[in-house]
Amino acid sequence: MRRRVSLLVVFVVTFAMLGGGTVIVLSGRQVGADPGADVAWVRLLTGVGMVTWGVLFARFDAQTRAVATERPDEESQTDAAEHDDTPRPMKVVLWVIVGAGTYSVLRGWTASVPFAAAGAVITLGLPLLNRLLDGVIERQEARGDGGPASGPAGD
């Protein structure tokens, strides 16, 4: 039995593909006019990333629907909600889009190249730092020495 594709999925994929295609065309024109423009090349990377993400998202949705029809029980659906099952290529492409977009926006605001690069590194680094700290906290709680956050407050 084949399940219908969600209208939201169609909208998200269409938006990513059309948006990415538009960015590619506009950036391609800018690269053609000035091949030395770093912002144009980064925007081109952003557009390619958006199109790639749209394709990966459509494939991910199809795989998710296939698994849901094979195992329609509620237990597998709650497990999927608790675990991040997003494929690694989708995550990498999303990080590329975010980093390139940050660099592009900062350079568009006439920021210097080092400043824009630092902004992109910070934008990408903060979520990674958060994930690292979450892992450290989980390991401390598993050992039983959760530190000040695990004890009673104000003793």
pLDDT score for 155: 46
Task: Choose the weakest-confidence range: 56-65, 111-120, 128-137.
Answer: 56-65
State the Cα–Cα distance between residues 43 and 49, nearest whole angstrom. 10
Q: The pTM is what?
A: 0.69
The predicted pLDDT at position 140 comes to 86
Q: Report the pLDDT value the prediction gives residue 45, as an integer from 0 to 100.
A: 94
The two three-digit tokens of residue 87, written as one number: 């494929």
pLDDT of amino acid 50? 94
Q: Do residues 31 and 41 make contact, with C-beta atoms less than 8 angstroms apart?
A: yes
Of 11-20, 63-72, 123-132, give the range with the top mean pLDDT: 11-20
- State what percent of residues in the chain have pLDDT above 90: 26
Q: What is the rounded CA–CA span in Å between residue 92 and residue 15?
A: 19
**pLDDT on residue 65:** 62
Residue written as token pair 């401390």:
140
Query: Which among 100, 96, 12 is positioned nearest to 61, based on CA atoms?
Result: 12
Q: How confident is the model at residue 144 (pLDDT cuts 50, 70, 90)?
A: confident
DSSP string, 64-122: HHHHHHH--SHHHHHHHHHS----HHHHHHHHHHHHHHHHHHHHHTT--HHHHHHHHHH
| 12 Cβ neighbours under 8 A, 6+ residues apart | 54, 57
C-alpha to C-alpha distance for 32 and 93, rounded to whole angstroms: 25
What's the chain's Rg over C-alpha atoms? 21
Work out the pLDDT band at 125, boundaries 50, 70, 90.
confident
DSSP category for residue 35: T
